[in-house]
Amino acid sequence: MRISKNYRMLMGVVLLLTLLSGCRRKAADGAADAPADTANADPIAVEFATATVRSMESVIAAQGTLAPGQGAVARVAASTPGRLTAVRVREGERVRAGQVIAIVDNRPQQAMAHSAQASLSVSEAQAREADLAASASATDQKNAVKSAQLALESAHLDRDNSIKQAQNALLAAQTDLRKTQAGARPQEIAQADQAVRQAQATRDRADIELQRTQKLLAIGLAATRQLNDAQTALDVANSSLESAKQQANLVRAGSRAEDLQAAQLRVDGAQELLKQAQKTGEGKIAQAEGALKQAQESIGQVAVKQQDARAFRQTVAMKQADLSAAQSSANYAEIHAPLSGIVTKRSLNPGDMADVTTPIVEIADGRSLNLIANLSAEDGAKLKAGMPARITSPDFPGKTYTGSVLSIGQVDPQTNLLAVRISVYSAGDSLRVGGYALAEIVLHTDPHAIVVPKQAILSHDGKSVVFLVGKDDVAHQKEVTVGPERNGFVAITEGLTDGARIVNLGGYELTDGAKVKEAPKKDSKPE
């Protein structure tokens, strides 16, 4: 016959209770009678457990009320006074950041904005004209300076060229004068004498030829034409001889006074032209330098126009600021939600006068919550800002939120309590302001703690002890130092090592040195 699993568990529980009851009776009998011989006593049935290594957290529990996070509540008032024309949200309504929640009558501000826009347009036109005038003046001044510089360079070149030409003319005149004053050179006189001798020889040959022709004509051996030709040749030779003699006389006689005077006049004229070229060139240079200086000094006029342009631009900037202020004042008529959240309070309605001090609505961001909890001064001294925390709420069982310690307050001397502010992450839309919540603040995590079940630890003479069971199944009382407790387990900081076998259930019935045996498992079949 098959026995059900539930029945087997029930019978196991009954058997365990029976064993525990028997142990209590034996202990009572032993207390009344003389001490028994534990070596010969029957082993006591107990439940064993093993000390194991696991991560163990040291936590402090806290409880309190959920409140809006710092900066998560906005009391929205008008930025400019005026009468409300609309309030677009109600209490309990969800709003998003930037949403228009109310409107103030802004017709006066809009009129000021239009006026400021018109004034700005006029100032911008004046500034553009001033900029163009300053730019044109700067361009004209730059071109005038450049033109004057070119004119000055041209004056220098003209002066130098004119002086050079006058110097060349003077040099040529002086050369002619010296040549005229020096007269004929010996070579020229010798050349003239040689020309006379050649002409004389030619004349003599022509005369001989004439005489010979006359003799031949007389005897009939020559014609009259030949005689005429010989006479003509003689006449030409005589003329050439006379010309050569006169030229030789002129060469020997030297230059005439008129030629010397004319050569001197040419030298004097060339010197005057040189002086005139120098004077005229210097005059042109001085005139060009004056024009350049005047063009350069006109930079002051350009600076004045540029200053005027800057003044107009500054005026434009002022007008732009006026327009921006007017537009901002007009835009302030639309009141926007500074954050996303829920409207928790609405104080004013359309038609009411709004000012900068009276909130129109109050908005709370439910996604940013803080848990305000009270702790004892002893526990609060263990906390530091930034410690992680786990938050739970009875309204949402089984759901855990993460957080961290934001701040630790001062101890109230009357209550010996202090307030701790804990941020709650990812609260979403579930947790609400004013709700009750619990927090576990993690002080420290030991990843290699020796832990045992809580029920295995007994109190004896004010000390924490366990019963350590050896391989001989004899239980010995062992004093231990306990640490943090979590989920039914307690950390042992001193007294046990990993793998130690201890008594989990049944230790209250034991004495030091008692023999023990393992009680039947709960799922064992009944005998």
Q: Give pLDDT tens digits for 443-485.
A: 888 888 889 998 888 888 888 899 988 888 888 888 888 888 8
In this structure, the chain runs to a length of: 527
Task: Give the separation between CA 104 and CA 89, rounded to whole angstroms.
Answer: 14
81 within 8 A of 356, measured Cβ to Cβ:
yes
Q: Answer for the pair 47, 519: CB distance below 8 angstroms, yes or no.
A: yes
Closest CA to 449 of 501, 503, 489: 489
Q: Which of 14-18, 170-174, 293-297, 472-476 has the lowest mean pLDDT?
A: 14-18
What pLDDT score does 138 carry?
87
Q: Report the pLDDT value the prediction gives residue 1, as an integer from 0 to 100.
A: 34
Q: Is it the case that residue 91 has pLDDT exceeding 60?
A: yes
pLDDT value of position 230: 86
The lowest-confidence range among 54-58, 110-114, 162-166 is 110-114
Cite the DSSP H helix spans in 184-298: 186-218, 224-253, 257-297
Can you say whether the dihedral through the CA atoms of 227, 232, 233, 238 is positive or negative?
Answer: positive
Q: Two tokens at 267?
A: 């030298």
pLDDT of residue 40: 62
pLDDT per position as a tens digit, 43-69 = 888 888 888 888 888 888 899 998 888
Interval 327-352: pLDDT, tens: 777 777 888 999 888 888 899 999 99
Whether the pLDDT of residue 257 is over 60: the answer is: yes
Give me 169's structure tokens. Answer: 């003319």
For residues 110 and 92, what is the distance between their CA atoms, to the nearest angstrom? 33
Residue 285 tokens read as: 């240079």
Ramachandran class of 500: left when φ > 0, alpha when ψ lies in -120 to 50, beta otherwise = beta
Residue 78 dihedral angles phi and psi, to the nearest 5°: -70, 145
For 76, the token pair is 């929205």
- 124 by Cβ neighbours in 10 Å (0-12 / 13-18 / 19+) ranks as middle
> Which residue bears the tokens 């005059």?
283
Q: On the CB side of 369, how many CA atoms lie within 13 Å of its CA?
A: 28
Tokens of 355: 């000012």
Q: Which two tokens stand for residue 194?
A: 């040689």
Alpha carbons 48 and 501: distance in angstroms, whole number: 7
pLDDT classification of 254: cutoffs 50, 70, 90: low
Percent of the chain with pLDDT over 90: 16
CA dihedral angle for residue 117, residue 121, residue 124, residue 126, rounded to 10 degrees: -130
Q: Which pLDDT does position 27 carry in this prediction? A: 41
200-223 per-position pLDDT tens digit: 999 899 899 889 888 888 888 888
* pLDDT tens for each residue of 389-422: 998 888 888 888 888 999 998 998 899 999 999 9
- C-alpha 126: how far from its chain's center? 35
- Residue 12's pLDDT is 52
* Torsion 212-213-217-222 (CA) sign: positive
Sheet with strand 94-95: strands edge to edge: 73-77, 359-364, 341-346, 94-95
Residue position matching structure tokens 């350590």: 468
